[in-house]
């Protein structure tokens, strides 16, 4: 999967997410704003991350990003607003840049799980800063 960030806002960070399958639908992502990689407060650094299933006390059947420098328990899970995230990534079928939100996050997460289950278990995060 490839996540390309395109909006760095005071409230959060928005991106576009593509599967390795060129025919897959484009999704959107929401993260917290960049805060120097501070745990629970910041989006994570750009890079390449391996993905694994995660089954914790709060989040069950979600995806975890492995080996994030200085961080742990970075998940991909449903959410719609930055305040619902603690350094994790939320997918959406659409986004509202003005409100810094994603929409239909549960449906988008199901698509990501299908990609993951089909073997797409790496996430590359890049940014386009304007």
Give the start-to-end residue ranges of the domains of the chain.
2-127
Residue 119, pLDDT > 80, answer yes
Residue 76, pLDDT > 80, answer yes
The confidence band for 41, taking pLDDT boundaries of 50, 70 and 90, is very high
Mean pLDDT of the 65-92 span: 95
Q: What is the pLDDT of residue 129?
A: 57
Q: What is the pLDDT of residue 1?
A: 93
Residue 83: CB atoms within 10 Å: 10
Residue 130, pLDDT > 70, answer no
Q: What percent of the chain has pLDDT over 70?
A: 97
**Phi first, then psi: what are they for 41, rounded to 5°?**
-115, -25
Mean pLDDT of the 7-13 span: 96
Is the overall model pTM greater than 0.75, yes or no? yes
- Is 35 within 8 Å of 45 (Cβ atoms)? no
C-alpha 92 chain-centroid distance? 9
Q: What is the pLDDT of residue 28?
A: 98
């Amino acid at each position: 999967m490839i996540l390309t960030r395109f909006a760095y806002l005071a409230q959060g960070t928005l991106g576009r997410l593509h599967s390795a399958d060129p025919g897959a639908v484009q999704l959107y992502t929401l993260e917290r704003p960049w805060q120097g990689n501070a745990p629970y407060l910041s989006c994570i650094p750009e890079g390449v991350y391996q993905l694994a299933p995660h089954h914790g006390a709060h989040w069950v059947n979600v995806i975890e990003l492995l080996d994030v420098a200085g961080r742990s328990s970075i998940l991909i899970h449903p959410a719609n607003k930055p305040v619902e995230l603690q350094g994790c990534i939320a997918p959406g079928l659409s986004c509202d840049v003005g409100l810094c939100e994603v929409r239909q996050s549960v449906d988008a997460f199901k698509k990501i799980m299908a990609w993951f289950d089909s073997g797409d278990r790496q996430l590359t995060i890049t940014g386009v800063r304007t």
